[in-house]
Structure 1
Amino acid sequence: MKKYIDKLFVLGSLLFLATSCETEGQLTTLATVTFPSAIEVSSSTIVLKEDVSDQPALLVSWPKVTYPISAPVTYAVQFDMPSDIKGSEAWGKAIRIVAGEDVLSKSFTGAELNKIVTDLGLKPNVAADVVIRIESTMDHRIYSDPIMIKVTPYLKTVVIGEIFMPGSYQGWAVETAAALTEIQIGVYQGYMTLPVGAGPGFKLNRGRNWAQFFGAGDTNADMKNMSDTDFTLPGAGSYQIKANLNTLKWSATPYSWGIVGTSQPGGWDNSTPMSYDHQTKTWKITTNLVTGALKFRLNNSWTINYGPADPSTNTINLDNGNAYDIPEAGLYEVTFKINEIDPTSNGYPKTATCTIVKK
């Protein structure tokens, strides 16, 4: 009798597994998934120049990869040397840049592409081949066929110049105006906060004086030498300001470090933005906190974030999962200081510093 019961148990188990497969649907790991067509690049021969390195240099595009189930697909671009894409270690040294979910292209500025290819080992001012492929990920990864481009990188010049940004936000005092640091030849970058109620106008000055300055030209984005027309910011908030004296263009991008965690109102979903003190080059906020966790992130996103590897110190670490513990509720002054001279080409530093002081 027992052997018949055992047979019925095995048969029932097989029927259960078959039914489960039908109800759960087809797993993507059991299906063949491929790129339906080749990937494309905006140019197959690129000569990079430092004076226009903040401009787009390469656009990589690819077709949509369809998996058997409906869910977001994450794409990434991989760059490698032709000598490193074969054998047991194939693509092991590739530089991988995440493009995002359900996106079908990724653009790279000259500075970004120059860093990628020099990190791969390309020599300045020498044309060399670079291989590109696309990675598609849902529950498993597949790859496009690779394509090859030829890139000539440049040798990044060490630059230390500054220009200055007097405006309504600080009373038009050029002596205490925010400084924009030269990050590439003729390209300047800095940070500032426009307080609520302050006027939006400003100028860009060569020195801490009015001997030479730039104002708006034909449009607000155009820089015109000695123009009496003010540049204007879009409204209150913190910005990354870039000015290109090679192209006579400037831009203001919303940009703010903030505190995040259970000690502040937004929890882990929404950061509380900090304001930038351009004279001390420090991000600051004075606010009420409750008991809970606190760490720092950029632009209300987890893409760039810092947490303390050792919460007993004021040093915070890039992409660290830890947080500070706020032991009691009250009014706190929180500061955050980071050396981010040129995030585009150098990346964000591995450490920054902070203070958390109860008032």
Structure 2
Amino acid sequence: MKKYINKLLLLGGLLFMGASCESGAELTTLASVNFPSQITVSSNTLVLNEDTAEDQILLVSWPSVSFPIEASVTYALQFDVVADTTGSTAWQKAKRVEVGTDVLSKTLIGRDLNKIATDLGLQIDKEGKLVVRVEAAMDHKIYSKSVTINITPYEKSVVFGEIYMPGSYQGEWNVETAAALTAIQKGVYQGYMTVPAGAGLEFKLNNERNWAQFYGAGSANGDIKNGSTKDFLLPGAGSYQIKANLNTSKWTATPYSWGIVGDATAGSWDNSTPMNYDHQTKTWKITVNLVPGNVKFRLNNSWTINYGPKNTTDGLVYLDDQGSHYVGEGGTYEITLQINDVDPASSGYPATAVYTVTKK
């Protein structure tokens, strides 16, 4: 009986090992996976400047990588300086650019590439070298051979100035109290606007708080034409981020709204209650009925950008903080948010913002 049991155990062990080996054959970590050919770049020498900050400057392309199992492959780029690509800490300081699933190229604009170069320590107005490689990932990551790029970064100039937006949203067109769009780059202006329900949608753009020089619509609503008597038209009631580019003579209005969220609000934690933008005080505001509970702030009805306070006394909210403002008594409240989000696309969102919650 003992010999019989031992034989069964031995047979079971062999069957287990066989099954393990068979399943292990499907693991890509046990197989050699490589890029079938070198990656390519559209140019190996780049001189960057502010005039081409929004232009497509560099195209990186690569061949498809085949892993032993049928599944999607996720790609990313890594940029680094030559000195940081060898040794035990190789590529640990690299700047990573997400690309996506089964995508075989990535285009970078001048502004983004300039930020990568300066963040990695390349000197302004002096040619330096960056290396770029492609990461391919499934259940493990592999990397292409790197390509060297000679790149001359520039120093982003500090821009000042505003243009103004008189229009029907004011009730009366008044350039002296019109919303201001702040310069974020040379010739590029950005600001925020709430159009009340039932208000007119027409507006102009003025260089000063007078009518000495103004811009209206060109052949299309999105075209900016100097001295045109044709009004621009906003999309409709709601809040927008307005951008006017006098270099390209184009403007856009993108839906953009800060709101309150939490179990003290009508939408609880699922739906934000939108706030309105007061362009004269540059403050987001709302007067609303609340029940006892918590309140915090988020952008565009999404948790991607959100702010919460660490307490209810210092009047500050913090980016991506888990805290919330507790409302102990139900009733009508005025809530305000002041945030310096003039240029989040290139500068990011600020670490803190100022808020108030006041019972009426």
Q: Give TM-score, length-normalised by structure 2.
A: 0.83
Cα distance, 1:72 vs structure 2: 7.0
Letter in 1 for 2:115: K
Identity across aligned pairs (percent)?
A: 63
Q: 1:348 to 1:39 in 2, by over 3 A?
A: farther
Pairwise mapping of residues 1-359 of structure 1 onto structure 2 (< 5 A)? 26=26, 29-30=29-30, 33-35=33-35, 38-62=38-62, 75-99=75-99, 105-137=105-137, 139-171=139-171, 172-310=173-311, 312-359=313-360
Q: Distance in 2 between matches of 1:98 and 1:260?
A: 30
RMSD of aligned Cα (Å): 3.5
Moved more, 59-68 or 294-303: 59-68
Q: 1:315 to 1:221 in 2, by over 3 A?
A: same
Rg larger in structure: 2
Aligned-partner SS, 1:344: helix
Cα distance, 1:161 vs structure 2: 0.8
Contact 1:118/1:153 (<8 A) preserved: yes
Cα distance, 1:255 vs structure 2: 2.1
Could you give the per-residue CA deviations for residues 84-137 of structure 1, whole angstroms, max 9, x where no partner exists?
Answer: 111111112222233456655544332222222111112222222222233345
Cα distance, 1:18 vs structure 2: 7.5
What are the ranges of 5 or more consecutive residues in structure 2 without an aligned counterpart?
A: none
Aligned-partner SS, 2:176: helix
Cα distance, 1:141 vs structure 2: 3.7
Q: Distance in 1 between matches of 2:325 and 2:265?
A: 12
Letter in 2 for 1:88: S
Q: Distance in 1 between matches of 2:187 and 2:47?
A: 19
Contact 1:115/1:346 (<8 A) preserved: no
What are the ranges of 5 or more consecutive residues in structure 1 without an aligned counterpart?
A: none
Q: Distance in 2 between matches of 1:69 and 1:265?
A: 48
Letter in 2 for 1:92: Q
Q: Distance in 1 between matches of 2:38 and 2:327?
A: 52
Letter in 2 for 1:357: T
Q: Distance in 2 between matches of 1:236 and 1:107?
A: 35
Q: Distance in 2 between matches of 1:329 and 1:31?
A: 63
Cα distance, 1:69 vs structure 2: 6.8
Aligned-partner SS, 1:175: coil
Q: 1:223 to 1:31 in 2, by over 3 A?
A: same
Aligned-partner SS, 1:176: coil
Q: Distance in 1 between matches of 2:16 and 2:358?
A: 60
Contact 2:80/2:132 (<8 A) preserved: yes
Cα distance, 1:2 vs structure 2: 8.9
Cα distance, 1:259 vs structure 2: 2.9
Aligned residues: 359
Contact 1:115/1:345 (<8 A) preserved: no
Q: 1:268 to 1:39 in 2, by over 3 A?
A: farther
Cα distance, 1:263 vs structure 2: 4.1
Q: Distance in 2 between matches of 1:198 and 1:144?
A: 56
Q: Distance in 2 between matches of 1:327 and 1:16?
A: 62
Contact 2:311/2:325 (<8 A) preserved: no
Aligned-partner SS, 1:285: strand
Contact 1:51/1:184 (<8 A) preserved: no
Letter in 1 for 2:207: R
Cα distance, 1:339 vs structure 2: 1.4
Moved more, 153-162 or 90-99: 90-99
